[in-house]
Amino acid sequence: MSAPMHPIEITLNGEKVAFEVPAHRTLLQLLKGDVHLDAVKEGCGIGECGACTVLLNGEPVNACLVLAVEANGAFVETPEIENKSDSLSELQQAFIDFGAIQCGFCTAGMLSSARALLKRTPQPSHEQIAEAIAGNYCRCTGYQPFIDAIAAVAQARTTGGYKASVLPAGKFVGGSTKRIDGVAKVTGSAQYVHDMVLPRMLHARIKTSPHASAKIVSIKVDKAKAMPGVRAVLTGADYTYKLGLYMQDKDILARGRVRYHGEAVAAVAADTLEQAEAAVDAIEVTYEPLPAALTVHEALAAEAPLVHPDLASYSFMKGVFFPQPGKNIAHHQKIRKGDVEQGFKAADRVFEFKFKNPPVQHVPMETHTAIVQAMPGGEVEIITSAQSPFTVRTLFSHTFGVPEYKVRVRVPYVGGGFGGKAGIHLEPLVYCLSKAAGNRPVKIIATREEEFNTLPSRQGLESRIKTGVKKDGTIVALEVEYLWDAGAYADYGVNIGRAAAYSGAGPYCIPNCKLDSKVIYTNKIFGTAYRGFGHLEVLWGIERNIDLIARALGVDPMVMRQKNLLKVGDTTITGELFTEGHGRPDLCLSKVAEAIGWDPNARVQKPVKVGSGKVRAKGLAMLHKAPAMPSYTSCSVVIKMEPDASATLLVSGVDYGQGTYTTLAQIAADELKIPVEKVRVPWDADTNFTPYDWQTVASRFAVMGGNATIEAARDCLNQLREVAGRVLCAPPEKIVCENSQCWVEGRAEQKLDYKKLVLGYTYPNGNSIGGPVVGRGRYIAQGLTNLDPETGQGRPALNWTYGAHGVEIEVDTDTGEIRLLRIASAFDAGKVLNEQQCRTQVVGGVIQGLGSALWEKFIFSEGRMLNNSFVDYKLPTAKDIPAEMQQFFIETPHPQGPYGARGIAEHPMISVPSAIGNAVANATGVEFFELPLDPERVYLTLKRS
């Protein structure tokens, strides 16, 4: 039974090519699957995301929505057409120059859209550019860099064409070194797991649960096993391995019962994806629905159905997490400081408010994907789109009892992570499939639908905040309850419940604090880390709370914040002393307030009416976050000096778009005194070759990797000095290293090129000394402690980064639509290591935060997720961004940061909803307590108030 084949001929990137295709084959499948033009990406398969944009007869189309047969006789241009043998196209160069590249997964599709635009409209307006790329989703950049790059190319074409920008000479750290992965990403040569094909590779698909909670009565797989091309069919009954990050609570495939709609119950590996899909459809599962706990309140009720009746038998990280068997509580974090009852007694006023955040998704443009091969002899090869190769290895090894040295984990280019790829997800299942299929390599790519409702999300949160204040706005007591909707499995959720607890009062001095953060199992998609690790959620409540109280007291919200912000000598709610090295939250606030023209003397911010039904107003919000990580977190870097005096920096933290490899190259170049072009930081991170790093999460990679890089580079220099000293007859400490050369202090006339030293020095008579220079650097977090189980007191944070946003918005009160007009953001970065990357991180984070503020939410009906696709899970597009985004960086050095730097990767997203929520209250006089502030919620709330 083979499909009828249709002969076609297309002109592909200028060359006539003939194919034979079945009618149902899409142009995307042809270009990517058959021709391997891998700049073309698949992000959704339904024409919503634009990752597969190619030009069909010169016009942009989604290749996933075009049948290959339809393209017969047509001209097809993929992004690769921009590639020239020895230089970049204008658009490619401009994308690099303007930092319009992060993970790189949307880049080529954008290039296609931009190319078509400039052909059709050589001098487009900013609106026309936004319209032209609005069909291309990007989750990293916030779109503005693309718009700027395209505008610059159009402008330059009126005066002879776009030329690469030239950076000023000087130190690399602090400058705007262009991304070292820029060329690979704009040309589409960067290889992602999505693109990879191995010989004899099988394709896997999963069958998922249609119920939120049900007993699995039977699974019939005989039909599926007999189908053509099928090599392995697995169900949960085949394995007893338990998986989990902090709490081993998850089966590889559901066993006995399903705990959420979308949970994987069976899997197939087959020769082709279509065969695997057909076999999955042929698997028959019989369920018996069970009562479900769908909200945190249902889950906490007496007699609530237990999501994990066997919780008592699970292994978990003891002393750090405190699950409560017999209940749906995966972890309860307590913070106790001072005497909160006394505090409330001393207060002039006491306020209590409740806030709510829905579960949302990370939406990396590359969905989760992995290729795994069980090797003969028990070794395992894993290639995965993950954030942390060593964590994948450790957890994998722990689950299967395979020793770590037998497991190799490779992480190539990753199309965005945002926390969703931080732990271990599909790798164990694919390993089991490979074993069952006779050790053939097996690849799985999550569909976009599975990315939404099978793979983890951000947890929902319900907050109750009770505040005791003096008349002038000074906070004297704070009682907080956070109820985290963890979903069916604990994953990172328990650690978010912990981290967001010790940060859970905001960047304020709270003399008396009682905070309870409970992570609750429910029958929903499970939560995990998502950029900000719980902080966007808790600061939605905390920062709205400040504005609510300020309004009630008649105190300006900026003034109230200034009164309560942490300052030198204060202690945090876990008893950590606030020092000068902590930074300047106050400056962050004043900077953004000044930028948006906030008047702190106004007391009540007056809205401005602009036309029928539209009002404008401003809002402020603070933010803070520290890395959430074990106290012993460490990182290492190896620098190999190459024969040409270049350097190769090996590190296992992953640059999945945030740009850290470029930052590390800058640091290494400055330290080694060589040009940054001569520092190579190769993809992949690979447990076989790159040295240990804990995880790429928590905005800690530039800090910890930066410190390790400094140490490794200095180790190289010491080795160079030692040999140069012997050659030049001077003690090593008298050797100067500059411009890839060594000389003795004060004797610059006799210089030794690094090239003569990096492999060892050879005297004219042939005698040799030294040897290849390999530097080693490491860093382990210093001075951190576990938190006291009863009081939460301790030192959990390596470095706090403080920040603030100021926004101006417009509300259309007739429709409920909110437009962000402008946003100013400030962070105490300690030291800006790469200015362009800091700015583009902020722009991208702000727009991701805008998504959480205005649109993003999962919608459930009786536990079924209703919006598991881009049709109804709406992301901000290029048309949804504000006209003006400003970034400010304050540089108060952190004593432990590289050159004083702090992490700022997650922070831009945090408190964007809070600032907007505060502005909406200022615009309309109506208070909002629940996210997102989508048009319908805003309209209906205004209507009822």
Binding flag, residue 47, other proteins (CB under 8 A): yes
Q: Shortest Cβ distance from residue 46 to other proteins (Å)?
A: 5
Select the span of 58-66, 207-215, 724-732, 918-926 touching other proteins (CB under 8 A).
58-66
Report how far residue 517's alpha carbon sits from residue 334's, in angstroms, rounded to the nearest whole number: 6
Q: Shortest Cβ distance from residue 349 to other proteins (Å)?
A: 36
Pairing relationship of beta strands 15-22 and 5-12 according to DSSP bridges: antiparallel
Toward other proteins, which CB reaches closer, 199 or 611? 611
Q: Shortest Cβ distance from residue 143 to other proteins (Å)?
A: 10
Binding flag, residue 603, other proteins (CB under 8 A): no
Binding flag, residue 65, other proteins (CB under 8 A): yes
Select the span of 69-77, 251-259, 384-392, 821-829 touching other proteins (CB under 8 A).
69-77
Select the span of 41-49, 453-461, 527-535, 644-652 touching other proteins (CB under 8 A).
41-49
Binding flag, residue 942, other proteins (CB under 8 A): no
Toward other proteins, which CB reaches closer, 56 or 469? 56
Q: Shortest Cβ distance from residue 812 to other proteins (Å)?
A: 10
Determine whether 65 is exposed, middle or buried from the number of CB atoms within 10 Å of its CB (0-12, 13-18, 19+): middle
Q: In the structure encoding, which two tokens stand for residue 329, read together?
A: 């509580």
Report how far residue 265's alpha carbon sits from residue 256's, in angstroms, rounded to the nearest whole number: 10
Q: In the structure encoding, which two tokens stand for residue 16, read together?
A: 């006539």
Q: Shortest Cβ distance from residue 45 to other proteins (Å)?
A: 6
Which residue matches tokens 């107003």? 617
Site mask for other proteins (CB under 8 A), range 235-274, x = bound: ----------------------------------------
| Cβ atoms 553, 560 nearer than 8 A | yes
| Interface pick for other proteins out of 134, 167, 227, 736 (rule CB under 8 A) | 134
Q: Could you tell me how far CA 10 lies from the centroid of its own chain? A: 39
Binding flag, residue 22, other proteins (CB under 8 A): yes
Which 8-state DSSP code applies to residue 205? E
Toward other proteins, which CB reaches closer, 394 or 877? 877
For 673-823, where are the alpha helices, taking DSSP H only?
701-728
Pairing relationship of beta strands 513-521 and 475-487 according to DSSP bridges: parallel
Report how far residue 557's alpha carbon sits from residue 29's, in angstroms, rounded to the nearest whole number: 55
Asked if the bond preceding 684 is cis, omega within 30° of 0, the reply is: yes
Select the span of 129-137, 318-326, 337-345, 428-436 touching other proteins (CB under 8 A).
129-137
| Interface pick for other proteins out of 226, 871, 883, 895 (rule CB under 8 A) | 871
Toward other proteins, which CB reaches closer, 580 or 814? 814
Report how far residue 585's alpha carbon sits from residue 643's, in angstroms, rounded to the nearest whole number: 47
Report how far residue 623's alpha carbon sits from residue 535's, in angstroms, rounded to the nearest whole number: 8
Toward other proteins, which CB reaches closer, 49 or 392? 49
Q: What are phi and psi of 490, to 5 degrees?
A: -75, -40
Residues in the interface with other proteins (CB under 8 A) total 56
3-state secondary structure at position 419: coil
Determine whether 682 is exposed, middle or buried from the number of CB atoms within 10 Å of its CB (0-12, 13-18, 19+): middle
Q: Shortest Cβ distance from residue 860 to other proteins (Å)?
A: 10
Select the span of 44-52, 237-245, 302-310, 825-833 touching other proteins (CB under 8 A).
44-52
Q: Write the DSSP string, 36-53.
A: --TTS--S-SSSSS-TTE
Q: In the beta sheet, which residues pair with residue 370? A: 384, 444
Backbone CA torsion sign across 892, 894, 898, 901: negative
Rule CB under 8 A: which of 135-174 touch other proteins? Answer: 135-136
Binding flag, residue 2, other proteins (CB under 8 A): yes
Site mask for other proteins (CB under 8 A), range 174-213, x = bound: ----------------------------------------
Binding flag, residue 131, other proteins (CB under 8 A): yes
Report how far residue 331's alpha carbon sits from residue 318's, in angstroms, rounded to the nearest whole number: 11
Binding flag, residue 935, other proteins (CB under 8 A): yes
Binding flag, residue 634, other proteins (CB under 8 A): no
| Interface pick for other proteins out of 418, 492, 540, 855 (rule CB under 8 A) | 855
Report how far residue 725's alpha carbon sits from residue 773's, in angstroms, rounded to the nearest whole number: 15
Select the span of 47-55, 198-206, 521-529, 683-691 touching other proteins (CB under 8 A).
47-55
| Interface pick for other proteins out of 197, 217, 552, 866 (rule CB under 8 A) | 866
| Cβ atoms 461, 520 nearer than 8 A | no
Report how far residue 476's alpha carbon sits from residue 339's, in angstroms, rounded to the nearest whole number: 10
Q: Shortest Cβ distance from residue 66 to other proteins (Å)?
A: 7
Toward other proteins, which CB reaches closer, 282 or 589? 282
| Cβ atoms 42, 32 nearer than 8 A | yes
Rule CB under 8 A: which of 873-932 touch other proteins? Answer: 874-880
Distances (CA, A) of 736 to 78, 475, 673, 772: 51, 55, 10, 19
Toward other proteins, which CB reaches closer, 349 or 879? 879
Select the span of 57-65, 99-107, 511-519, 735-743 touching other proteins (CB under 8 A).
57-65
| Interface pick for other proteins out of 19, 32, 40, 50 (rule CB under 8 A) | 50
| Interface pick for other proteins out of 10, 30, 39, 64 (rule CB under 8 A) | 64
- Kindly give the interhelix angle for 90-97 and 144-157, rounded to the nearest 10 degrees: 130
Q: In the structure encoding, which two tokens stand for residue 699, read together?
A: 């905005």
Q: Shortest Cβ distance from residue 861 to other proteins (Å)?
A: 8
Q: Shortest Cβ distance from residue 482 to other proteins (Å)?
A: 28
| Cβ atoms 393, 409 nearer than 8 A | yes
Toward other proteins, which CB reaches closer, 52 or 383? 52
Q: Shortest Cβ distance from residue 945 to other proteins (Å)?
A: 15
Rule CB under 8 A: which of 755-814 touch other proteins? Answer: 814
Distances (CA, A) of 281 to 237, 278, 329, 368: 19, 5, 36, 21
| Interface pick for other proteins out of 3, 226, 301, 552 (rule CB under 8 A) | 3
Instruction: Put residue 366 in one of left, alpha, beta given phi > 0 → left and psi -120 to 50 → alpha.
Output: beta
Closest CA to 896 of 715, 640, 633: 633
| Interface pick for other proteins out of 222, 644, 738, 936 (rule CB under 8 A) | 936
3-state secondary structure at position 355: strand
Binding flag, residue 446, other proteins (CB under 8 A): no
| Interface pick for other proteins out of 9, 17, 20, 24 (rule CB under 8 A) | 24
Toward other proteins, which CB reaches closer, 117 or 798? 117
Binding flag, residue 53, other proteins (CB under 8 A): yes
| Cβ atoms 685, 652 nearer than 8 A | yes
Closest CA to 371 of 289, 452, 444: 444
Binding flag, residue 453, other proteins (CB under 8 A): no
Binding flag, residue 559, other proteins (CB under 8 A): no
Toward other proteins, which CB reaches closer, 7 or 760? 7
Report how far residue 854's alpha carbon sits from residue 816's, in angstroms, rounded to the nearest whole number: 11
Report how far residue 103's alpha carbon sits from residue 181's, in angstroms, rounded to the nearest whole number: 9
Toward other proteins, which CB reaches closer, 617 or 875? 875
- Kindly give the interhelix angle for 535-553 and 557-564, rounded to the nearest 10 degrees: 110
| Interface pick for other proteins out of 12, 37, 39, 56 (rule CB under 8 A) | 56
The contact set with other proteins (CB under 8 A) reads 1-4, 6, 22-24, 26, 45-48, 50, 53, 56, 59-62, 64-67, 69-70, 72, 113, 131-132, 134-136, 277, 281, 814-815, 855, 859, 866-867, 871-872, 874-880, 934-936, 939-940, 943
